[in-house]
Each structure stands twice: as structure tokens, then as C-alpha cells.
Amino acid sequence: MSIRHIHRATLQTWLTESGLGSGEELALLDLRSVEAFAKGHPLFATNLPAENLERDALRFVPRKSVRLVLVDNGDGAAAKGAAVLEGLGYTDINVLTGGIPAWTADGVNGLPTFDIPGIIFTESVRDLRGTPSIEAAQLKKLYDAKEDVIVIDTRTREEFARGHVPGAVNAPGEEILYRFLDQVPNPDTFVVVSCAGLPRAIIGAQTLIDAHVPNRVAFLEDGTAGWTRATLELATGGEKRGSASAAATAFGVKHAHELAKRARVRTVDQQSVADWLADTTKRTTYLLDIRSTEEYEAGHVPGSISAPGGQLLAVSHRTVATRGARLVLIDDDGTRAVTSAYWLQQRGWEVHLLENALTSAGAAPAARVPELLNS
């Protein structure tokens, strides 16, 4: 199929028709710079700067026959990118005429987007589940009174090091159950979950509540932003990071089982995944390793992409460019994969956990995913 130029109405129609899990798949790539993308991306497209397109296209869009739309800043970069992709073998390439300026010409209200923004999803979780919260001033009073309280910061290690509530410990979103017992050994400790604002804190707190940990749990209103707004100072610096202890791992598996039952998380065997990946005509499958980058680099399943679960939950469109694709998650004991799958399914994705993959790849101890899900 030749390269086509489409107008906003066509893309609006495709976005509306290609709801997650139904309709024809749609991949959407924003070729603007990282800086331009960060200022606003109403499509929630995957940002792949034009200069990296040839190198990274296959990572973000593994199926070359998928319907693919390129957007730019109205500067012709998408047309040049289309030629690059055609040379790589992609067969259904579309360029949004006028790029992002044309998309936003009359404002963005009412326009369909590529994904549910994390802030909207998590605020609906808070409303529907009644997730408890605490203000910074209240937390400071507990600190001053030397109450048994701990703050778990669910952001990345790098974000945590730049500034966090004093005394906080770090557990990126997918690791909150995996590391919980090591960080909170006392079931009577009050646990406050924080991030920079709201989304990851709400998800972290509700994860612990839904997994039935014994502790009282709440999230910190507006996270570190709320802490500094209350004229309180942040601490800086990271913390040493190792694997969770055997006891913490067992605790994580036990409580992730509650999430697995609630969400009916599914597993898939390696042969089925191989068959899915070999299908280049009907459906896109992403093989995502949701462990830390360091664990991935130490050994991983061939063909898998490093996609630490916390960021995958918060901004899935940065890793998964194809709307309606199937996600297969890889983990060692299953705790982090189940935690990630639990929320991704609620955001509309079809998610499966890969059985025993890391053992066969020689990358980790025996996986206990089937045991976790079927016990």
C-alpha cells in the first residue's frame, strides 16, 4: 500500500473505532523532538524522534502490516519518516496532514486520544474505590509525634534521588508488593504512599489495599509537590538496592495472588507466544520484561523489551505504540507482573503472563507464576 496523507477527521474516526481490544489495530508515532513532545501531546502517541526512527521503529511497531500514522509539527518530518518506514518494509503508512498544529487548530476538547491519560484513570480509581489520603501537614504532625508511619515513594529510582519526603523508602509501582515486607515489617505501621503528584501514589496505595496487606494505607495528597507547598523540605539521594529477601518475596507472591484472583490474570506458554510473534498479519504482540533495567541487562528472554512496570502503568503509550495490541509480561516470581497486569487490564489492555520464561533463558531462578495464579 502506498503512503497516504490523511486529515484530522480520518484519524479521529480511526481512534474512535480502534478501542483497546477491538477493531483494527492502530500505531501512532509522534516524530517531534523529546522537548516538543513534552510540552503537549494530545494524541498520547508514542514519541519517536525522527532521527531515531530507522533505528527504533521495529521496537515500537513490531508488526509491519499494522495501520501506522505519523505526526509531526507540520514541518514535513512525517513525510520523510514515511519514506524511511516504507524502505523498512512497512506497508500501511499514513501521514497526518498539518501534524499536531492541524490536530489542535480548534482546541482539543472532545477529540479522541490514543490512551486514557494516567491522571484521569487514577483519579477515577480514587473516586470509585474511595482511596484514603492524608495531607502533608497531617503527615508532618505524625512525624513530629514519632508515630509508627512510613512513606513509600513509588517513582523511579532517579526521581526518588532528586527529591523525596524525608525518611521515605523507594519502591517503583510494580515493586510495591515485591519489596513491601522488607520495608514495612510491622503490620501496625501506617503506610503512606507518595509520588510527585497523584497518579502513581493512588495506584500504589490502592494496590496495597486491594492485595489485602494488613497495614492501614493512604496516599499523600499531591505527593512531593504537596510537601513542598506546605513549606517543608525534601530529602535527596538514593538508597542501596538489592533483590527482595526470601520472606518479602513470599509475602509479595501471597498478596499478588489476591490481585490475580480479582482480575483473573491469565498466563500463556512459550509456544503460544512464539506463534503470536510469528503472526505478522492479524495482531501485534509485545513481549515486555517488567523487571528493573539492571535485571534485564543481566539476562532476559530474546526478543523482549525492557519496560519496568511502574512506568508502563503510568505512561503505557511511551512503550506500546500500537493501540489494541496484546501484551505479554515477563517476571521472575510473578509478583511484579501480576501487579502490572492488574492495572493494565483495568485500562483496557489484553495482558498475559509468560510462564517460566526466565528459567529457560537462564536469566533467573524458577518462575512461580503458574503456582501464584493457580494456588
User: At 262, which helix (H) or strand (E)?
Assistant: helix 246-263
Q: Residue 339 — pLDDT band, cuts 50, 70, 90?
A: very high
pLDDT bin (cut points 50, 70, 90) of residue 14 is confident
Would you give the DSSP letter of residue 233?
A: P
Q: Which of 64-78, 107-121, 142-156 has the lowest mean pLDDT?
A: 107-121
Q: Tell me the C-alpha distance between 191 and 220, whole Å.
A: 10
- Name the β-bridge partners of 331: none
Q: Are 96 and 103 in contact (CB under 8 A)?
A: yes
Hey, what's the cell of 306? Answer: 525492557
| Sign of torsion over alpha carbons 223, 228, 231, 233 | positive
pLDDT in tens, 87-116: 999 999 999 999 999 888 877 655 655 555
CB 192 within 8 A of CB 150: yes
For residue 76, give Cα distances in angstroms to 61, 69, 83, 229: 21, 14, 11, 43
User: How confident is the model at residue 361, as a pLDDT?
Assistant: 41
What would you report as the CA-atom Rg of the chain, rounded to the nearest whole angstrom? 21
Coil vs helix vs strand at 280: coil
Q: In whole angstroms, what is the distance from residue 290 CA to residue 295 CA?
A: 10
Q: With H, G, I as helix, E, B as strand and everything else as coil, classify residue 375.
A: coil
Cα separation, 340 vs 315, whole angstroms: 12
* Cα diameter, the chain: 69
- Helices 199-210 and 246-263 cross at an angle (nearest 10°) of 90
C-alpha 169/C-alpha 149 separation (Å) is: 12
In residues, how long is the chain?
375
Mean pLDDT, all residues of the chain: 87
The pLDDT of residue 375 is 43
Question: Tell me, what DSSP letter sits at residue 107?
Answer: B
Question: Per-domain residue ranges for the chain?
Answer: 4-112, 119-242, 258-374
Give Cβ neighbours of residue 344 (< 8 Å, ≥ 6 apart): 312, 313, 316, 327, 351
Identify the CATH class of 258-374: alpha beta
**Which CATH number is 4-112 given?**
3.40.250.10
Given a cut of 70, is residue 370 above it in pLDDT? no
Quick one: pLDDT at residue 1?
57
Cell numbers linked to 352: 498475559
Q: How confident is the model at residue 363 (pLDDT cuts 50, 70, 90)?
A: very low
- In which band, very low, low, confident or very high, does the pLDDT at 367 lie, cut at 50, 70 and 90? very low
Q: What's the CATH number of domain 119-242, 3.20.20.60, 3.40.250.10, 3.40.309.10, 3.40.50.300? A: 3.40.250.10
In CATH terms, are 4-112 and 119-242 the same topology?
Answer: yes
Give Cα separations from 174 to 54, 178, 205 (angstroms): 31, 8, 12
Which pLDDT value is given to residue 364? Answer: 43
Average the pLDDT over each of 17-21, 127-131, 232-236 and give the range with the smallest value.
17-21
Predicted TM-score of the model (pTM): 0.82
Mean pLDDT calculated for residue range 22-39 = 85
Report the C-alpha gap between 92 and 61 in whole angstroms.
12
* High-pLDDT (> 70) share of the chain, %: 88
- Once rounded to an integer, what is the mean pLDDT over residues 183-201? 94
AA letter at 219: F
Three cell numbers, residue 208: 496495597
Is residue 350 pLDDT above 70, yes or no?
yes
Q: Are 153 and 227 in contact (CB under 8 A)?
A: no
User: In 10 A of CB 344, how many CB atoms?
Assistant: 24
